[in-house]
Homo-oligomer: A and B are copies of this chain.
Amino acid sequence: MTRIVTVGAAQLGPIQRAHSRKEVVARLLSLLEQGARHGCDLVVFPELALTTFFPRWFFESQAEIDTFYEAQMPGPETQVLFDTARKLKVGFYLGYAELTQEDGRTRRFNTSILVDQTGVIVGKYRKVHLPGHAEHEPWRQFQHLEKRYFETGNLGFPVFRAFGGIIGMAVCNDRRWPETYRVMGLQGVEMILIGYNTPVHNPPAPEHDNLSHFHNELVMQSGAYQNGTWVIGVGKGGREEGVDQIGNSIIVAPSGEIVGACSTLGDELAIARCDLDLTLSYKNSVFNFAKHREPHAYGMIVERKGAIISV
């Protein structure tokens, strides 16, 4: 049996601050059309794919910050993506900054949506693992203020029945945490879509900047293998407002093998025919969770947040 989902990993080159939504959406449309031309069912865009990665700056003015958010999805500038998806019969994953009114207040999340081949939103995820910091830290070469500009996602790690399988989503830093994959694995996930913006340089630990690609691949390859799932990781690449982004977009099979990859730092589409049934030989053997997991020994994973040293 085979259940093929043909996926395009639609990497973006840099988006400068001066670039308008309209310019960016034109690039997304071009990649969506390339995907459709190559028979993709699903095209995956990066995190915060409609603007420059704005958490790199400390802004005083909330009004200025809010120019980077979408108050509607689809909105006036993004409706064309949904219309094109429907017309070309190609779905997409899109990351964006979400501004919403919930529980009687304005809330902001680092969000991704899954849109099916009829142009309908069939899944939404809000980033759980916000990296960086909440206060201005002028010593850094650039800021990473996600903990200031977003709330922690409040939707958990949901999965969705779509594209003939069970699809999950994550955003950027989520991918470094094995818990992300496992919570979706425990819901039978077959493909996890992950957009990211990852600078080559990490100000708090510059001593491993040279390992940025290795770490990016390592976490997604192990997450795929250990849960028997496809993982599609799509980044931004190139120098964006003076900050080098890794790109390094990859398509990872349930074996953990990289079976598709972008090789530039610009707008680029990498394609793979992903057989969802390749998940089975892992989910039914070494990673048959029902047979082999031992949750009685995992309590600390939920009982404590930070490490506690008691020896």
**Residues of A that sit less than 8 Å from B by CB:** 128-131, 152-153, 156-157, 159-161, 166, 173, 176-179, 182-183, 185-188, 202, 204-205, 207-208, 211, 214-215, 218-219, 221-222, 225-226, 255-257, 281-295, 297-311
Contact call B222/A297, Cβ cutoff below 8 A:
no
Our pick among B152, B183, B222, B293 for the contact of A218 (Cβ within 8 Å) is B222
Contact call B183/A286, Cβ cutoff below 8 A:
no
Contact call B285/A307, Cβ cutoff below 8 A:
no
CA–CA, A211 and B211, complex, Å: 23
> What B residues does A309 contact at CB under 8 A?
166, 187-188
Task: Give the top 6 A-B pairs by smallest Cβ distance, nearest first.
Answer: A290-B306, A222-B222, A178-B178, A205-B285, A188-B309, A204-B285
> What B residues does A156 contact at CB under 8 A?
297
Contact call A188/B307, Cβ cutoff below 8 A:
yes
Contact call B255/A186, Cβ cutoff below 8 A:
no
- A181 CB to closest chain B CB (Å) equals 8
CA–CA, A207 and B278, complex, Å: 10
Copies of this chain held together in the complex? 2
Contact call B295/A301, Cβ cutoff below 8 A:
yes
Contact call A176/B286, Cβ cutoff below 8 A:
yes
Known contacts: A208-B255, A301-B182, A307-B185. The answer to whether A131 contacts B218 by CB under 8 A is: no
> What B residues does A297 contact at CB under 8 A?
128, 153, 156-157, 179, 183
Our pick among B202, B208, B255, B291 for the contact of A211 (Cβ within 8 Å) is B255
Contact call A298/B295, Cβ cutoff below 8 A:
no
Our pick among B153, B157, B208, B305 for the contact of A281 (Cβ within 8 Å) is B208
Seed contacts A129-B294, A293-B305; 19 additional CB < 8 Å A-B pairs: A129-B292, A130-B292, A131-B292, A153-B297, A157-B297, A176-B286, A177-B226, A179-B297, A179-B298, A185-B307, A187-B311, A204-B285, A214-B256, A215-B256, A218-B256, A289-B307, A294-B305, A298-B301, A298-B302
CA–CA, A167 and B305, complex, Å: 20
Contact call B208/A177, Cβ cutoff below 8 A:
no
